[in-house]
Structure 1
Amino acid sequence: MLNYSHLIDRKPPRTDASPPRHPALPSNPVLVKSLPRTSEISKRAEQYAHSARKQHILNDALTSAVETPLDARPAPSADDKQLAASSDGAAGTAPATTRSGPGKRGGGPYEPFEVLRAIEKKDLAVILDVKSHQFDLLVTAGPGQPLPLVYAIRMGKSHADMAIVIVGAISRRVNDTSDDELAQKDPRTLATLRAIRANLKIAISASLSGPDGDTSLLSSFLQVIVMLEGNKFLQSSTSTLSLALRSPLASKPVATAQRLMLKWVSRELAARQVASVEEYVANAVGDLVLLGLWSIVQDQLARGQVDSIPLYYFARDDRIQKAVEERMSDLRRRKGSVTQLSKQVRSRLDVALDVLGRRSLNGRERVDRLRRVFDEGEKREAVVGSAAAAAAASESS
């Protein structure tokens, strides 16, 4: 085989190649559409970062709310084990409760997917009907489905009104929880309250992730915590206040009550949120003082002469104040019962009820007046007024 590679290598290059018809243009790329300004890019980046941060907070809140242990979760009775198992869990499977009142088209109870579909379609009538007859569907999730509140939040700003409706229904359910429901400790009621707690925590986290920070749900959240696991805290605090009220000038009972409440609230809320529940804390401080005073009353009277104050009254409007007033009125109707109490206890009860009953004052002002009387030893005439003090003194004597 012949090899001609040496001839090819010796061949000189061609020099008669014709030049290109048009000279090459210099490279100068031009954007068809100009880039946005740096400020616009920064603004969009902040929006995307905020959305990602909000979603991260929402996911963390859901995980934390579902996994947070409850200290005072009572064990269901043998008859209720099956019922409790089906309704347990804050974000568990939604129970197919039977509806009362007007039914949906076709009859029968709503299903979890129908609630999500109503949220997507903004069908307010269905949501309100579920709220009235199958409330558990608003705070629990079906198998493999998100919570209705989470679903509404994930739908974005276009469905913010649906999220507000759901949160409003949840908050209203907290206020509408009856004393009988709490006294009976029905497993279904406790399961609903646990689910409400999880949803409120999600709502708080989602709203506080924004720049304005909506804190209107914090009091409802704290109230649910009290309903579920407040007994241990209240019993311990009542004992502490009872001892402090026996020597108030030295022990500062009102300051002690404030410290106990702030410590408890700080366990559940972030530091920046505590200031938003100042009125709730002030009302709770007044209730702790009354519980401590009533504990002394029970110690000074024979067993069975007075009823105890239900702890589920705590921080629910003025229920503890009214309960103390009713029991004191009952003692006064029975001859000799009130005289068994020391004059100091009667006087302190009178001034506490008088100050806490002045609803024209806000919570902080009422607590400040209590502090001046109990912790600083000011004359009650200077705090509650001479006329009220004179009337209370004549009644106590």
Structure 2
Amino acid sequence: MVEPTNYHPSSPSSISVPPLSPRQSRNRNTSSPRNNVRSPKIQSSPILLQPLPATSSLNKESIYASELELDKQTKQLNREKQLSEALKDQLYSIEREKIKIEQGTWSKNNSKFEYKDKDDKIIYSSENSKTKPFNNPPQAFELYKAIDDHNFEFIMRIRDYQFDTLLQKNGNEFPILYATRLGNQWRDVVILLVGALSRYVNHLEPEDFEKKETLRTLKALRANLKLAIDHTLINLPPGHSTNLLSSYLQVLIMSEGDSFLLKSMNEISLIIRSKINSSNSNSNSNSNSKLNSEIIKPVFQSENIIRKFCTKELRGIKEGIIDVEEYISNATLDLLILSCWNLVSNQLNIENLPTHTFARDLRTYSLFIEAYENNLTNLNKLNPKLKKILNILIDLAGDSKKSVKGRLEDVRNVLDT
């Protein structure tokens, strides 16, 4: 029996082979002809588990989805618009509050003011006095108590910081109507309240007349004034006159803003232009001429426009209230002047007369004369008929030797014939 051979570690047959490195292993695998054979590519052929819906169904779903998206976008735009308007209202309220606090009793240009009665007696003067804001909003009964007690300072604090309280109805009466009914001893209070309404209107800018808040306030203001006019007329003794009525009318017209005057100016300007054109044509028949003479009366139409602002009771009174008739005559003359110059400005491309002096004595007439003298060279280009009307207004509308009613009648006798 052959015994197993014992190998020595040093013998060649017992030498172990070292393992291959990873790089050698990769080279060996790639060199194998078996690895050069690639598996065949399987062609893709997707299969739907469920069939596609019909085209009509897809169209319905697309229309429904688009309507939902449109509705969603519309709601989003409306929500953004509402938020924007709410933000603007809030900012406007904050700005108005700042202005009220900065103005105090009056604006910087009117830091001193006085209230006078018909005898030029000073009822109240605010020189070196400033009103203080309220810690808590005043109640209506506090205002009426201030009216009873002739508490001018409290009324003026409400005017400066809580103006809407002066226009709010408490019970069955408004503050100005309540003060009017108390009698002549509260005449100074009524003058103070009218001055507060006038001050509010005078502080408005042209763009303020387009804001909802201002329009609501002006509507309430006009309602107060018309009620005060009605009450004054009903309780006015025969032959008695009061300059409060003319003050009511002044603030009433001012509360309409420039829109009223511009509209009235355009209307009277058309009438004056028609009068000029009708005088140039002599081919009309007698009947047509008579009809035109009744319609084309600029003075009559101007006075009619002014009287439309009066309440129903005041329209029915034709004579007897001197102050009211003088105010209406003054306003009528000023409307004629503004309307004539409106035609001039359109022809010569110059500025219109300002409207802030409307129905205030001879202020509009003075501005009219100043504008006329500043444009003498350009006025030669005007229609001779229009220039003649301007000269008539210059000669008759400013005659200080006559009353305002006398001046209006002189102009009427020339222009309405």
> TM exceeds 0.5?
yes
Q: Give secondary structure in 2 for the equivalent of 1:181.
A: coil
Greater mean alpha carbon deviation, residues 366-375 or residues 266-275: 266-275
What's 1:200 paired with? 225
| Alpha-carbon shift at residue 140 of structure 1 (Å) | 2.2
Contact 2:268–2:336 (Cα < 8 Å) also in 1:
no
What's 1:165 paired with? 188
Contact 2:179–2:190 (Cα < 8 Å) also in 1:
no
Larger-gyration structure (1/2) = 2
Deviations 1:10-69 (Å, cap 9, x if unpaired)?
xxxxxxxxxxxxxxxxxxxxxxxxxxxxxxxxxxxxxxxxxxxxxxxxxxxxxxxxxxxx
TM-score by length of 2: 0.54
Contact 1:136–1:192 (Cα < 8 Å) also in 2:
no
Deviations 1:147-185 (Å, cap 9, x if unpaired)?
32344467x55xx634x2332123334655676735343
What's 1:243 paired with? 274
How does 1:1-397 map onto structure 2 within 5 Å?
A: 81=89, 98=101, 100=104, 108=135, 111-113=138-140, 114-131=142-159, 133-134=160-161, 136=163, 139-141=166-168, 147-152=174-179, 156=182, 161-162=185-186, 164-173=187-196, 181-185=204-208, 187=211, 192-210=217-235, 212=237, 216-229=243-256, 230-231=260-261, 232-247=263-278, 255-262=297-304, 264-266=306-308, 268-269=310-311, 270=313, 271-275=315-319, 276=321, 277-301=324-348, 305-311=349-355, 313-332=357-376, 336-376=377-417
Q: Give secondary structure in 1 for the equivalent of 2:412.
A: helix
Rounded to whole Å, the distance in 1 between the matches of 2:133 and 2:354 is 45
Letter of the structure 2 residue corresponding to residue 268 of structure 1: C
Q: Give secondary structure in 1 for the equivalent of 2:185.
A: helix
Structure 1 residues 254 and 203: CA distance shift in structure 2, 3 A: same
Structure 1 residues 79 and 228: CA distance shift in structure 2, 3 A: farther
| Alpha-carbon shift at residue 84 of structure 1 (Å) | 8.1
**Alignment: residue pair count:** 284
Letter of the structure 2 residue corresponding to residue 323 of structure 1: L
Larger RCO (CA within 8 A; separation ≥ 6): 1
Structure 1 residues 245 and 371: CA distance shift in structure 2, 3 A: farther
What's 2:110 paired with? none
Deviations 1:239-269 (Å, cap 9, x if unpaired)?
2233224556976699432244236515633
Letter of the structure 1 residue corresponding to residue 370 of structure 2: E
Letter of the structure 1 residue corresponding to residue 326 of structure 2: E
| Alpha-carbon shift at residue 215 of structure 1 (Å) | 5.2
| Alpha-carbon shift at residue 340 of structure 1 (Å) | 1.7
Contact 1:306–1:327 (Cα < 8 Å) also in 2:
no
Letter of the structure 1 residue corresponding to residue 392 of structure 2: V
Contact 1:226–1:312 (Cα < 8 Å) also in 2:
no
| Alpha-carbon shift at residue 197 of structure 1 (Å) | 2.0
Rounded to whole Å, the distance in 2 between the matches of 1:177 and 1:316 is 18
Rounded to whole Å, the distance in 2 between the matches of 1:210 and 1:351 is 40
Contact 1:242–1:292 (Cα < 8 Å) also in 2:
no
Contact 1:314–1:320 (Cα < 8 Å) also in 2:
yes
Letter of the structure 1 residue corresponding to residue 317 of structure 2: Q
Q: Give secondary structure in 2 for the equivalent of 1:359.
A: coil
Rounded to whole Å, the distance in 1 between the matches of 2:203 and 2:134 is 31
Rounded to whole Å, the distance in 1 between the matches of 2:146 and 2:157 is 11
Identity %: 24
Structure 1 residues 143 and 223: CA distance shift in structure 2, 3 A: closer
Contact 2:329–2:405 (Cα < 8 Å) also in 1:
yes
Give the gaps of 5 or more residues in structure 2.
1-84, 106-128, 281-288
| Alpha-carbon shift at residue 287 of structure 1 (Å) | 2.2
| Alpha-carbon shift at residue 307 of structure 1 (Å) | 0.7
| Alpha-carbon shift at residue 219 of structure 1 (Å) | 2.8
Rounded to whole Å, the distance in 2 between the matches of 1:254 and 1:361 is 26
What's 2:22 paired with? none
Q: Give secondary structure in 2 for the equivalent of 1:340.
A: coil
TM-score by length of 1: 0.56
